[in-house]
Amino acid sequence: MANRISQYTMTSGDGDSRNGEPKRNLWTSMLESVASGKRLPEKNLLVLGGTPESQREFLDSLSGSEPRRNFDRQKIPPIANNYALGYTYYDVLDADQDDTLARVSLYLLSQPSGEFSSLIAPLLTPETIPNTALVILLDWSHPHLWLRQIWTWLQVFQEVLEHLSRDVQTEMEEVMNNWKERGRGGSSVNLDGTPSATAANGDSNGSLPLGPGEWTEPLGLPLCVVCQNNKGWKEPDFDGVLQNLRTVLLRHGASLIYTSQSTTSQLPILIHSTLGITSLLKRQPLKHNVIDRDKIVVPPNWDSWGKIRVLGGSFDTEKVSQYWSEDIKIPLGAPPPSLALPDPEDDDEDGSNQPPQVESAIALYEDWCRDPNSGGLALVENAMNDGTEVAVESEDTQDFLERQLKILEAYKSKAPEKTTDGALSSSTRRSDYDEKTVNEHIGPVQFNMGGIQVDADDMLQRLKDRNAHIAADVPSSEPEGAVSNMAKDFDNEQLHDFFSGLMNRTAGAADGGR
């Protein structure tokens, strides 16, 4: 029997080419189409700062924003972030919870050490750069350290950039150039990278130009600063914190958001739009908010010096912005400068002793936070920590006492104590004054003896006057010492007889009354 060969298989897969081009297998094309449709877009978040617990809270705020259907509930991926560079992921679902829009991988780093830069650098490639964003986590328990923490993490990221190839750095420059136009008024690109309505209508006239202090130090990745665990404080001091943060982040084109466990946050919308993740069914616009201090949202390419000055006060945006540009030039190994306090010993008569001017935004911010007299955060932070902590650095005890001793000695030398012969000492005058004050306060000492009210002070004074009169009647021929002794003996004898008589009268009256 001759072998039967399927002509259909041969013609469909291995047949002759058409117009000189080989034909593709039908099943191969279908399988490739299905495989490409199931491939999820990969997005990356590099999360810096916080503790392992606060990083978990950040993940919960992102992935748990919308409840999933019971029949489509997925297992929560494990998170490993206790040591070195941590990792986890979550899937972003569409509005109907049926379609998965993207998978977000989170790389978590808690310790700001440049030693970990070699672990982060391999994650940044020309393919991953357009789909990666940078997040810095801050906590409301230490608002006075925020600028220093941002500075530290930016220095760590600068060390990461030194490990990147030229191709990666070029791709980062291209991404930053595109980001400068995203979401800006009149731009043809929305914040999530989709075409804007003006571009669709063909009436776009270009985006607004950059203002002062904007995008002067791009990082190579879009940056979002998240302030967690906001307790809803609305004191005016927090306007100063917000002004400092917005001015500093404006130089990097970064966004800012306050989050709280008790209130709904726009954090998922901000992060997902930054990564270019857009819902196919429902578009959720990101709304800025600089009025409600517990729900602050500052999108990228929205803020400006003029909007920051609206908060009022004596805040100098230009000075803080320039000083911050100097701070970020300091390498990671060297701490930023701090303001030196004035020395009371060097205080001039004209009051010209002032702290030295230090061109550091971090130093100005931390000095303001620790000085309640200047409207700083010391008292407010004490309230935030239930009265258990005040953000004031205490001076060494011995240094403080030594300085106070010098001040006291200088004061004594300028105002010496004047005394005259025969004048009572201060201790004597104080003793007389205290005795007189006590006597006036308690009044005369009285007691009842056999029904008679006796004033003890008056009685003693009369006895003294009588003895003094008897002593004066003694002949002058007798020695003065004998007169004194006789008066003394007589005084004691009279007192003894007097009080004995009173006691006998009292006892007799008591026996007769029985």
Report pLDDT digits (tens) over 435-479.
556 566 556 666 666 666 767 677 777 777 877 777 666 555 555
Cα 43 to Cα 123: distance, rounded to the nearest angstrom? 12
Pairwise CA distance, residues 258 & 141, whole Å: 13
CB atoms within 10 A of CB 81: 22
- Helix axes of 480-512 and 456-472: crossing angle, nearest 10 degrees: 140
- Separation CA 91–CA 100 (nearest Å): 7
Instruction: Specify whether the CB–CB gap between 250 and 304 falls below 8 A.
Output: yes
State how beta strands 297-298 and 132-139 pair. Answer: unpaired
- CA distances 111 to 82, 116, 149, 162, 339, Å, are 10, 9, 11, 19, 26
Query: What percent of the chain has a predicted confidence (pLDDT) above 90?
Result: 35
- The residues near 230 (Cβ < 8 Å, ≥ 6 apart) are 140, 258, 259, 260, 294
The residues pairing with 289 across neighbouring beta strands, listed in sequence order, are 297
**CA 379, CA 371: separation in Å to the nearest integer?**
9
- Can you tell me whether residue 257 is helix, strand or coil? strand
d(CA 42, CA 46): 13
The tokens of 55 are what? 């990083």
Q: Give the Å distances, CA to CA, from 136 to 257, 325, 358.
A: 11, 19, 26
Average pLDDT, the chain: 76
pLDDT digits (tens, 9 = 90+) for 362-416: 999 988 887 666 666 665 555 555 555 544 556 778 888 888 888 888 888 876 5
Indicate the pLDDT class of residue 483, thresholds 50, 70 and 90.
very low
42-71 mean pLDDT? 81
Nearest CA-CA partner of 294 in 230, 244, 241: 230
Q: Find how far residue 249's CA is from the centre of its chain.
A: 17
Work out the widest C-alpha separation in the chain, in whole angstroms.
Answer: 177
- The pLDDT score that the predictor gives to residue 73 is 47
Which tokens is 24 given?
């593709």
This prediction has a pTM of 0.66
> Residue 247: pLDDT above 90?
yes
CB 139 within 8 A of CB 229: yes
Closest CA to 337 of 466, 148, 165: 148
Burial class (CB in 10 A: 0-12, 13-18, 19+), 422: exposed
Per cent of the chain over pLDDT 70 is: 62
Q: What is the C-alpha radius of gyration for the chain, rounded to an integer number of angstroms?
A: 43
Crossing angle of the two packed helices 361-369 and 146-161, in degrees rounded to 10: 150
pLDDT at 6: 41
Neighbours of 419 (CB within 10 A): 8
Which range scores top for mean pLDDT: 104-108, 285-289, 341-345? Answer: 104-108
